[in-house]
Every structure is written in structure tokens, then in C-alpha cells.
Structure 1
Amino acid sequence: MDLEMNRLSHNGDHPGDLSDANHNTNSQAKKNCIGWSDIILAYKTLGVVFGGLVTSPLYVYPSMNLTSPTEADYLGIYSIMFWTLTMIGVVKYVCIVLNADDHGEGGTLALYSLLCRHADIGILSSRNTNPREILFNGPSNLDPSRPGKLVKFLERSIFARRMLLFVAILGMCMLIGDGILTPAISVLSAMDGIRVPFPTFGKVAVEILSATILIALFLVQKFGTSRVSFMFAPIMASWTLTTPMIGIYSILRYYPQIFKAVSPHYIVSFFLRNTKSGWQLLGGTVLCITGAEAMFADLGHFNKRSIQITFLFTIYPSLILTYAGQTAYLIKNPNDFGDGFFKFVPGPVYWPMFVIATLAAIVASQSLISASFSVIKQAVVLDYFPRVKVVHTSQSSEGQVYSPEINYILMFLCVAVVLGFGDGKDIGNAFGIVVILVMFITTILITLVMIIVWRTPLFLAGLYFVVFFVLEGTYISAVMIKFVEGGWLPFAVSIILAFIMFGWYYGRQKKVEYEMTNKITLECLSDLLSQRDVQRVPGLCFFYTNIQDGLTPILGHYIHNMRSLHKITVFTTLRYLLVAKVAPNERMIFRRLGIRGIYGCVIQYGYADLRNPEGDDFVTQVTCGLKNYLERNHEGLFEGCRIEEEIMQLQEAISVGVVHVRGKTRFYIGKDVGWSDKVLLGFYEFLHSNCRSALPSLKIPLLQSLEIGMLYKA
């Protein structure tokens, strides 16, 4: 069957061509050049990308259980933090990981998408993510010269492919766990500064005040971040400017030779001297790199250059100087580590710094909450996660989304963490596990990207893996001993989320398998419509289907019971691909199905695309695209039928009325079904019965929608 791509322009009624590819390439080239726009954009990234990272001085030292620390201990701790920030922040993320984007998007899902596009290792039905290959049903365009043994192993082992998917899902879930813990620890640590000038101010009062601020923060999420985001950059700029200035003051006043700790031999002597207790302290020092994963996860909101400029020339030196100042103060005041940040702030500027710290903590919380919304949105559109309501809160920025269900769940968990744990040390234990596990997952996926996608020599890829495996693996071993002291929380949340996502995905795939096995062929459809008691009724019908190579079995169920089909029927597939964005010229694809008035339409979205058409606009854009297709494609016309007549029939059908038909299917789980399928499919049915319907997400009027129920045998 011939397929023709039609691009709908922004007004939805002009066909386009494929010339946009060169334009996109040129745009990407310009995007990678440094200019004033990148510098301005770098300033804006302060409030969105680096929130958790720049507020880490508030809680790193308080999270350590130090016992009679000495000058040598503090020098060793600072050396560890310096090299952690340098190796993970600069070498790993800025120099390597930021280059592994998928059409400008970052995060573990982007890495998984990148791998699936360069090797047949995905287990999704949409694993082939090249739109042309999918839509033209052509052969795979995978490079035959790709590395042999590793790719062949992954392609042949369903267990390895499932583990790879699970690892990518777990990374997404850990980021959501970060969205729970960052607001809790940031706000609680900032509010704890009240107790320095007012020691009688109790911990319970600090917890209640922190919980109140968090509740207020979550309640304003529905208004969107765009209304207050103009304040983010000035707040974080003030923070990253004032804290290093105080750090320089403390260095000059307390310990000018602090930078001798840059020498790695202080790390060696620290571990030789402290042995097991020094290793355990790594659970606190790992928090100095909190939020580094956000550099990569938020890559879609800002270009790579702006993030690199911001980190190298603002965040990195600010953190190095701030930690140096804190350490210099603590060397002269070794027992003040419990309030390591606020006590090193000079008295005359204490309250201004308290206000800035509180605002910075709120901005850091906002950035991780927004990131959690974005991750959930990506998971929903890719059918990894049960459908929840996702609202776009900005007309100009597609990344600004809000989900009421997720928002209130996060609010409940954040407040529960603050009131349940209370002590920042326990939250720090939980936080450390999230931070390092996400980074470790990224290390694994980046190594595979190096070998499969970048064709990096095995020696260099192995060197990268060994260095960061040892570094991050050491941190993991240190934080896991705190598992029972709060570390279980993010792990439990992530496992629950991963199980939800895997159960949902498993059920959706089972439905696709059933539909492919029991699909209605065009020959079968022709036979059904040729029956005397089956009528072609006036009007336009959008019949939604999940499969393209054939028609959903719900169609046969519908015709057998309704004994009719609309004169103009468009079998519509909303397809979400494992790519960040689908080019506008590849958004809608139409085809004639060989039966008068019957057409196929595939509408494609990437996981970072904004779905503009809704309700009547959706119908308008699809029908305009179909008209353009009919005008340009004369093949497949029936004998004696003209293009003008075909278009007139379409217009008449639109004027009569539009109906949207979708299936509402359930699994029939018989006694012969295995126990694993009973558990997973039963769990899927529970999720499916409690999630939102797919069709209202397009804001289709209820009077125009029709659901057809059908049981699928498991």
C-alpha cells in the first residue's frame, strides 16, 4: 500500500515537503555555537537545572556523623568533595554525558531511546523509532557494521533486553524519588537556620514550618512555573554569588592554605587513618554532587552549550569556593559541623543569607517537582505509565507541565518525609541512595552508548566504565549501609513505581499481541461490509486502533453488533515513539485502504512533543491533512471516481457529524492462565480501571465519543 507523508503547518491546512530536514540540521548546528543567546540562556538555567546542586552546601556537612574531627579529617573530606565534583560533574556529565542526547533530550529514557534506534534491542512494539521505516513498512535501517558480540547478545537475549528496559525505567523512577527528597531536605535544611540565632526554637516547630512551606509550594503548582520563573535566575544568581564570597572571606580569615587539600594524597591519608569510619562518611560527601543528573535530564529545556557554560563558569567554582570556606571555618571550629552552613555565615549578613537560602531551597524544590512532572508526562505518552491528567501550563514552553494526581502524591510524600524523619541526617541517608543510583544507571547506559552508538574503542569505553564504576560503586557501598536508617524510602518508592510501570507496560503489550493475532484484515473487512444487512451510514467516524498492520478485532465486534459502518471511516493510530520529537513533516501519515471511504491515519508524537490539536482542532487538522493527501495522491482511486468527488464525500461526511469510536477492553483471565500472568494482568486491570481514559486526553466532546467493550482472552 502506498503511503504519503503530509506535513501540517502550524495553521493545519498546508502540506509541506521534506526540506525541513536541512533546516533542522542547520538549526542544530547553530544551537551548538556559543553566542550571546547561549550566555543569556545560561543565566536562565540557574533556576531550573541546578537547583538541587547549588543548595547542597546546606546539608552536606550536617548529614555526616563526624566524631571528634581533626584538621586532617576536614582536609580529606574537602579533597573528596573537590574530586567528586570534578570527576562526576565536569568529566562525566559536562564532557561526556551531555553529548549523548536524543534529538536534544536527555535522561535515562533518552539513552534507552538512543540505543534502541541503533540496535534492535527494544522490546516495545515501537522499538523501531525511525518514522520513515515504520510508516513505509520498509526494512530496518540498522547499520550492519555495528559492533558484533555485545549487540548480538542483547538482540538474542530477551532477559538482557528486559533488564535494559527495567534499568532505564528504574532510572526514571529514581528521578521521581529525587523529586520527593530534594524539596524535603532543601527546605528543612534552610528552615533549620532559624535555630542558630534562636536555639530555643524547637525541631518540631522547624518541621511544621517546613511542611507548611512545602504544602504552599505544591498548592501553587497548578498555576504553572512560568508566572514565577522570572525570579528563579536572580535568586540562584544571588545564591551562587554570595556563598562563594562568604567562602573566600572564611578562607582568608580561618585557613588560607585550604586549597592544598586539592592534592589527592589527603584522600589516601584520610582513608588510611579512618578506615571503616572514613568509608561510612562517604554517605554524606556524595550529597555534594546532588542534582548533577539534572544537567542531563533537563537537557531538552536548554541547549548543551548553555548548561556547560553555566556549570563550568558559575556552579562549579561557586561550589568549590563555598565548600572551601565551610571547611576552613570548621577546621577552626571542628564541632560546628551540625550547622556547617549557617554557622560559617558572618553575623552582619546572617539574615539576608537566611532569606536567600530559603528562596534558593524553594527554587531547588520547584526544579525537581517540575522535572518529576516532565518524567511522568514522558512515561504516560510512551504508554509506560497509567494515564494521568497532564496540563500544559505555558503556551510558549512545552516542558512546563502539571499533573494534579502526581502533584498531590508528591506533596503527601514530601510532607510525610519531613514529619516522619524530621532529622536531616536520615533524609540525607535516603537522598544519597537516590543520587548515586541514578548516576550509576547513567554510567551503565552511557557505556553501552559509547560502544553501540559512538563506536568508541573498547579500551576507552572500558576505561570510562571502570573509573566511574569504581568511584560510584564505592559510594553505593557506603550509602547502602544506611538502608535501614532512611535509605529504604527512595528505594521502596522507586521499586513500587517501577512495578507499576512494568505491570502497565506488560498489560499493554499483551493487548497488542492479542490484537495482532486476532486482527481484522482488509479482505475480512470487505467481506463484512458486503453482507446485505450491514449498512454504510452517513457521517465521519474516527475509529481508534493500536495496530497498523491490520485492523483491531474490536472492529469486527462493532460491525457484528451494530450492523453498520460510517461512509467515511478513518482508522486512527496515535503513535508515541522512542524519540524526543517527531519532525512536523512526519506528524500525520495517510493511506487509502482499498475500500471506498476507508482510510488509515497514523499520528506520531515523540515523548517531548506538545500535542497541540484538541477536540475540534484535532478533527480539523486531520481532515485538512486527509484532503491534502487526496489532492496529491491519485493512486488507489476507484474506477469512475474522481478526486473532486472523493473530497466532496469527505466534506459531506464532516457536515453530517463526527463520531469517535474506541475500544474498552478487558482481559478474561481463565483457569489455564499461569500464576505470573494472573498477577501481572490482574494488576494491570486494577490500574486500567482506575486511570483516565485515553480519548478525553484529546478533549473529544462526550456526545461524539463511543466506547465498545470487548473481552480479550489472556
Structure 2
Amino acid sequence: MEEERSREEHHVDQEILEEQKDDILKGKIMLSRKKSAIRDSFDLEASKFTTNQGLSQVEDWKTIRKLAFQSIGVVYGDLGTSPLYVLPCIFPTGIKHNDDILGVLSLIFYSLMLITLIKYVFIVLAANDNGDGGTFALYSLLCRHANASLIPNQQAEDKEVSNYRLDVPNQRLKRASFVKSMLENSQTIKFFILFMTMLGTSMVLGDGILTPCISVLSAVGGVKEAASGLTNNMIMWISVGILIVLFQIQRFGTDKISYSFAPILTIWFFFIGSIGLFNFFKYDPSVIKAINPIYIIQYFKRNKKDAWISLGGVILCLTGIAVAFVFTITSTFLVLVMVMIWKTNMCLIVIYALSIWLLELLFLSSVLYKFMDGGYLPLLFAMGTMTIMYLWNYGYRKKYIYELDNKVSLVKLVEIASDTSIHRIPGLALFYTELVPGISPIFTHYVANISSLHSVLIFISIKSLPICTVPLEDRFLFKRVEPHELSIFRCIVRYGYKDAIIEWEPFKEMLTIQLKDFIRKDVFMSRLPHTTNMASYESDDNEFSWLRTQEIAEREVEKVDEALNVGDIVHLMGEDEVVASKGSSFLKKLAINYAYNWLRRSVRQVDEVFMIPRNRLLKVGITYDV
């Protein structure tokens, strides 16, 4: 039985060998011929990334119908509640002239056409990040086409990820190249774009706090018309109860809420549409004249400053007050996208800026006029959120730059690993580091205190890419630290900003499988002859022996298996403390020593996210003076 099993295993190994051999000969595994490039970059793994697999036409239409139905409960639900409070906010003291109604309706109509339809449906949706939208998506889009990030952790291999798209700017369009160069070479512009991204996102969050309150209060207040016994105090407490229930069920996910509210809002749209048609035909069909923009001009001539102030109420037909800031930020980013990525004709960019952008600035100026009359609330919420974002980014950036300046070079790493005084004990260890281009200084601190290294050592960096999601097959990027005998690897685990962190058990399985796969491919690649003659691969036994290559690869894989069989994987992490260096200003000490460190203690650490077993975890303490 043992002999038969051995023959079967040998037969399977031979089949695997032939498959790998055919893959290499047919070019299915993309191999680099430049040995220096292999040592200095992750070109091997980066070159074999696959492209996105598109949905079939049937699945695509199913997805569209599903999202269209969900959008009724979320996207259009925000617009659909506007009739509850828009007109009372525009005319708080009553209507002074009948034609004012036509002027306001014309304002609402053209605001919806210009901003909602033309800008967002026809332009912004085209500037999507692999299907995702929003301020962060536009920022990610700019970062991928220019080195706009303040953290220097970009690598050439990131551009090869399936969802990562980078088109080299057309040299004939000097304007695009100039803008790209200016963006990459100016720290001020980089900081400004990041600041605007944080501000826009914070404004959306601030609007998300207030808009539900306004909608629910308006809806419950409308019941008072039928139930006159309702007092303002009762309306307030009923609204509070409804809001508590809504926020409690929101944790189940947007899709659950959208499915729940879509039927309700469909009925709502049917009724308000029916009432509108009924009133249109019964009372005043001439309201259709509001399509004529001349009524907007007459409205402003008649009311002057009051008409400008009323724009703060008109914008509510689009969304909340706080999002007036987001409109202008989105337009700013869109201009950069048009110039640098789309390379749009300058005349079209100017038309966009003079029409939609100026309209949004007009709305923003009206909103700011009401700043002291409650307009400060969404801004206050946004400032609080943005402060947290900035403090985290500032502290993380300082820490990352410190690690980058004090990183352990690969030459130093090889010296340490080759030192005979450093014992290599059986087992596999993962050393976690936030540093991508190098090894964290925590490693030398660890070796200085514990003079031993495991037989297989993997340095893991968890990196966020400026894309929405990274396919699982592109998640791990490996590189070997030469020479092979050291059994030291570097691995970058890449996530998009929408990807959920994988828990430890499935992460461990994926890591080991892809590590073994990388070892096999790396051994085959390193033993390829320097020739382009495909026929010589099989005939030249002295230069390239497939059987010998398989033996070497499987021996290295067996070494990994032996390290795993000794015991479970050991996890080594840095318990670093970041403090402001001596001589730092009071604000820097406040930001680093208190605010940033408090935020770090408040978030889940890597071991908690991955649910790493506590008995297999070793943390090394170190202090960074930044």
C-alpha cells in the first residue's frame, strides 16, 4: 500500500511539474529576464495579475434592476422628502408676490437639471472609482494618476493590480502633463487636496446627522394638520422615538434599509405625483411657465437680497445645507479630472466652471449668510470629524516618515540573518510592519533583545491602496530576500478602502498557499536560461533541468511545511509609542502625545482585527521620537 501511495504521489507531482512547465513555455506565467529587477521589485507577481471579469449581460441587468430598486429607498428618498420642508424654508414669512412662486419653481427646476442631472448623472458618475463614487473615490482617482499622496508608500507594482488603472498622460497634451507635474511636486497642493477630501467627507457626515432629523420632524409636523391635538412637545418626542428606531436598524446595512424603504417611498412618490397632477389640472396649469428661466431673473429683480437669501432654502431640494460645501469640492476635483485624466477640451471646462461651478458658489454664499441662524451646526459637526481625520493622518504620517528614515536596509537584514551569533530556531514567524519600502527599525530592537530568528521569517506589511477593492488573487505580493538559504520573505497584503480585513484562520490559509505558490514560481524563474529560443528549454539539460528545479522547489516548500508543523505561526508586532521630540512646539506635543496616541488606543489593533491567538503573539516595545 505504501509503495502504491508513493507511486501515486510521484505521478501527481509529475503532472504538476508538466503543467508548470507548459505554463512557463506558453508564457502563461509572465517572467522578467532582468535579474536586478527581480531583486529590487515585485515585478514577477505584479506582472501576472489578471484583469477584471465582467458580468454577463443577464447578470448585469439583474444588478442594475436591483440597484435601481434600492436607490428608491436611499438616493431618491433623500430628494423625495424635499417637498416636506423646501417651500416653508424658502418663504418663512409668506409669499409676497404670486410670480415669486414661478421664480422659485424655476430655480428648483434648473437646480435639479444643472446639478443633479447634468453634473452628477452625466459627469460625476463617469468619474467613478471602479463603480464607486464620492469625495474619497475622486481623491483615489487623482492619486492613481498622479503621486498625490502625502505618505510615500507608492510602488510600481500597485499599478498592476486588477482594479488599478493608470494611463500615461498623452505627451501631446502639455496641459495635462503640466498639471500632473505641479500636483506631484507641490506639497502644498497635495495637502490642499487631502484637506478638501477630509472636509467634503466630514460635511456629508454632518449632513447625515441633521437631514434625518429635519425630514422626520417635518413629516410628523405634517400630521398636526389632521390631528390638531398634537403639541410641538409631542411632535418632538415622537420624532426622537422614530429616529432612535431608524438609527438602530441602520447597523444592519444600507441594503436592508433600502429594501425596507423602497416600497414605502414608491407609494410616497405615487401619492405626491398624483396630488401634483390633480392640482395642476384643477387649479393652475399655467405653473408650467416656470420652465422659462426669465422668471428667475424677475424674481431676483423683485426681491434682490431676499431672493439671494432664499437660495439657502432652494438648495434643500437637492440635499442638506452642509453638502453645499461638498458641491464645490466635487467640482474642484472634477476640473482636475477633466484636465489631467480625461484631457477635456478647455472650452468645455470653462463652460462647466462658469455655469455649474458658479451656481454652486452662489448657493454656498447664501448658506454661509445663515451661519449664525443654525447654519453653524453642520459645520460644527464636520469640523469635529475632520479634526479627528487630520490628527490621525498627521500622526500616522510622522510615524511612517520616522520609520522610513530609520528603516533597516536589505543589506543590513542579510547581515543580521547571516550572523552566526543569531540562532535560527525551528518555526515560522510573521513580523508585522507598517513600512512598505523596507524593514521597520523595530526589527533591530527585537534582535538586540532576543538573539534568535525563526527558520522561516516573513515580514508582512498591510497596505491600503487607493482603489475600492483588491481581488483575492491579487491580495498578497511576495518577494524573497536573497540568498535563498535564509528563508526570509517580504509580503505586502493589499486592501482597498472597501475591503473587510480577513480574520486569522482564512488569512493564514491564503498566506501559506500563496507563499508556496510563489516559492515554486520563483525557483522556476531563477533557473530559466537566458535565451528566447523556446525549443532549447527542453533540450538544454545542462542549463535547465526541470526535474532538478522541481526538487529544489519542493525542498523549499517542505521547509515551510516543517516550520508550520513545529507549532502554530508566531506573530511578532511592535508596541510602539509615538512622542513628539524635544523642542517640539506645544501644538505638536498636544497633537502627537495626547490626541494621536488616544486615537491609536481607541482603534482596534492588528492582532484584534485578525483575531490572532494571544498565546502565539509577541509584542516588542519601542518609542519613536518624531
Find out whether 1:713 has 2:625 as its counterpart.
yes
1:43 aligns with 2:43: no
| Cα pair distance change 1:621/1:96, threshold 3 Å | same
Residue equivalent to 1:204:
233
Give matches, 1:672-691, under 5 Å: 672-682=583-593, 683-691=595-603
Task: Determine the structure 1 residue equivalent to 2:610.
Answer: 698
* SS of residue in 1 equivalent to 2:459: strand
Query: Is the contact made by 2:169 and 2:340 (CA closer than 8 Å) also made in structure 1?
Result: no
Cα distance in 2 for residues equivalent to 1:180 and 1:214: 10
Contact 1:568 1:653 in 2 (8 A): yes
SS in 2 for 1:519: coil
Counterpart residue number, 1:194: 223
Structure 2 CA distance for partners of 1:158 and 1:255, relative to 1, 3 Å: same
| Identity score, percent | 34
Matched, 1:488 2:398: no
Counterpart for residue 442 of structure 2: 554
* Residue 278 of structure 1, aligned match among 301, 307, 310: 307
Q: CA separation in 2, counterparts of 1:193 and 1:107?
A: 33
Change (3 A) 1:228 1:491: closer
Structure 1 counterpart SS, 2:342: coil
Q: How does 1:416-495 map to 2 (within 5 A)?
A: 431-432=320-321, 434-495=322-383
Partners of 2:342 and 2:309 in 1: how far apart? 37
Distance 1:148-1:628 versus aligned 2 partners, 3 A rule: closer
Corresponding position of 2:119: 92
SS at match of 1:208: helix
Q: d(CA) in 2 for partners of 1:667 and 1:184?
A: 40
What is the DSSP-based 3-state SS (H/G/I as helix, E as strand, rest coil) of the residue aligned with 2:516?
A: helix
Q: Distance in 2 between matches of 1:120 and 1:651?
A: 40
8 Å CA contact retained: 1:592, 1:636: no
Deviations 1:62-108 (A, max 9, x none): 22323343311111111111111111111111111110011111111
- 1:263 matched to 2:152: no
In structure 2, the CA distance between the partners of 1:85 and 1:544, relative to structure 1 (3 Å rule), is same
Equivalence for 1:651: 561
CA drift at 1:36: 6.5
CA 1:45–1:224: 2 relative to 1, 3 Å: closer
* Amino acid in the other structure paired with 1:447: V
Give unmatched runs, 5+ long, in structure 2: 1-38, 528-547
Confirm whether residue 591 of structure 1 aligns to residue 479 of structure 2.
yes
Q: Give the equivalent residue in structure 1 for 2:131.
A: 104
> CA–CA distance in 2 between the matches of 1:34 and 1:614?
31
What one-letter code is carried by the residue in structure 1 that aligns with 2:242?
I
Task: Give matches, 1:26-425, under 5 Å.
Answer: 26-27=54-55, 35=61, 38-64=64-90, 65-127=92-154, 131-132=158-159, 142-143=168-169, 145=171, 147-227=176-256, 229-290=258-319
- Report the Cα distance in structure 1 between the residues aligned to 2:255 and 2:344, rounded to whole angstroms: 41
Given the two structures, how large is their TM-score scaled by the length of structure 1? 0.73
Q: Which amino acid letter does the alignment assign opposite residue 243 of structure 2?
A: L
**RMSD after superposition:** 2.7
Q: Structure 1 residue 636: deviation in Å?
A: 6.1
Alpha-carbon deviations, 1:105-134, whole Å to 9, x = none? 111111111112222333233456861469
Which residue identity is paired with 1:643? A
Q: Counterparts of 1:52 and 1:482 in 2: how far apart (Å)?
A: 22
Q: Is the 8 A contact 1:5 1:586 kept in 2?
A: no
Which residue number in structure 2 is paired with residue 630 of structure 1?
A: 519
Distance in 1, Cα, partners of 2:278 & 2:312: 28
1:609 to 488, 491, 499: 499
Q: Is the 8 A contact 1:594 1:636 kept in 2?
A: no
User: Is the CA contact (8 Å cut-off) linking 2:431 and 2:572 kept in structure 1?
Assistant: yes
Q: How big is the shift at 1:4? A: 6.2
Asked if residue 502 in structure 1 is aligned to residue 412 in structure 2, the reply is no
User: Contact 2:43 / 2:157 at 8 angstroms: preserved in 1?
Assistant: no
* Paired letter, 1:282: L
Q: Alpha carbons of 1:39 and 1:529: their partners in 2 closer, same or farther (altered >3 Å)?
A: closer
Match of 2:9 in 1: none
The secondary structure found in structure 2 opposite 1:248 is helix
- Deviation of 1:196 after TM superposition, in Å, equals 0.9
Give the letter aligned to residue 219 of structure 2. A
Q: Distance between the aligned counterparts of 1:647 and 1:498, measured in 2? A: 48
Structure 1, gaps ≥5 residues long? 8-15, 291-430
Greater Cα offset, 114-123 or 618-627? 114-123
Is the 1:133–1:141 Cα contact (8 Å) retained in structure 2? Answer: no
Partner of 1:668: 579
Q: CA deviation at 1:6?
A: 5.8
Q: Which amino acid aligns with 1:159?
A: T
CA separation in 2, counterparts of 1:566 and 1:493?
50
* Other structure's SS at 2:431 match: strand
Q: Do the aligned partners of residues 528 and 39 (structure 1) sit closer, same or farther apart at CA in structure 2, a change above 3 Å counting?
A: closer
Deviation at 1:569, TM superposition (A): 1.3
Alignment deviations for residues 612-639 of structure 1 (CA, whole Å, 9 cap, x no partner): x311111111001101111222056999
Query: 1:152 Cα deviation (Å)?
Result: 3.1
How far apart, in 1, do the equivalents of 2:151 and 2:353 lie?
27
**Structure 1 counterpart of 2:104, which letter?**
I
TM-score under structure 2 length normalisation:
0.83
Asked if 2 retains the 8 angstrom alpha-carbon contact of 1:128 and 1:134, the reply is: no
Instruction: Specify the code of the residue in structure 1 equivalent to 2:396.
Output: R
Give the structure, 1 or 2, with the largest relative contact order (CA under 8 Å, sep 6 or more): 1
Relative to structure 1, the CA distance from residue 235 to residue 118 in structure 2 (aligned partners, 3 Å threshold; closer, same or farther) is same
Q: Is the 8 A contact 2:153 2:436 kept in 1?
A: no
SS of alignment partner, residue 196 of structure 1: coil
Helix, strand or coil for the counterpart of 1:220?
A: helix
Are residues 492 and 478 of structure 1, via their aligned partners in 2, closer, same or farther at CA, if it must alter by over 3 Å?
same
